[in-house]
Amino acid sequence: MARIQRDYPNNGFYGIGIMHGKHDHNIGTLWRSAYIMGASFIFTLGRAYKQQTSDVVNAWTRIPLYHYENIDDLKEHLPYSTRLIAVELDEQSISLATFKHPDRAIYILGNEKNGLPEPVLAACHEIVQLPGSFSLNVAVAGSIVLYDRVAKSERTLPG
């Protein structure tokens, strides 16, 4: 039987989450960006999310919001053939400007106070860094990474 050739509008998917997020308004802001920029899911790692007004689109009602206990839990449930990308200021990092986003990716950000700990960085396939030598707000950093992914792809966004 002949195979039917089809063009699919989007190749791949991505999720984004924060480890031990401290301020719910930052988490809510990131979820809002994630939904608008086409994330397939969002997650918390180590600290569950309480609903927050900065997530004005209520992203968790539109795409799944997962919770993982720790990085091992996340790695155990990583979708097949999906890259885990740490977003962090780090000597090992790749500059976002030259980073080629994998088709299937999970982006993980650190919290407002401590950033991502070394074992989590080591557990990730890649680390990406935004320009500048100072930390940005976590929701701003995450939103820029998402924008960069969208800008470098031809992904169709929701709505």
C-alpha gyration radius of the chain: 16
The only residue of 36, 112, 150, 155 in contact with ligand SAM, by rule CB under 6 A: 112
Site string for ligand SAM, 89-108 (x = CB under 6 A): x-------------------
72, 64, 17, 101 alpha-carbon torsion, rounded to 10°: 100
Specify whether the CB–CB gap between 156 and 9 falls below 8 A: yes
CA distance 25 to 139: 9
Residues numbered 50 to 89 that lie near ligand SAM (CB under 6 A) are: 87-89
Nearer to ligand SAM, 57 or 89 (CB): 89
Closest distance of CB 129 from ligand SAM, Å: 4
Buried-state track 9-33, b at ≥16 Cβ within 10 A, e below 16: eeeebbbbbbbbbebbebbbbbbbb
Confirm or reject binding of residue 124 to ligand SAM (CB under 6 A).
no
Site string for ligand SAM, 139-158 (x = CB under 6 A): --x-----------------
Residues that bind ligand SAM (CB under 6 A): 87-89, 109-110, 112-116, 129-130, 132, 135-136, 138, 141
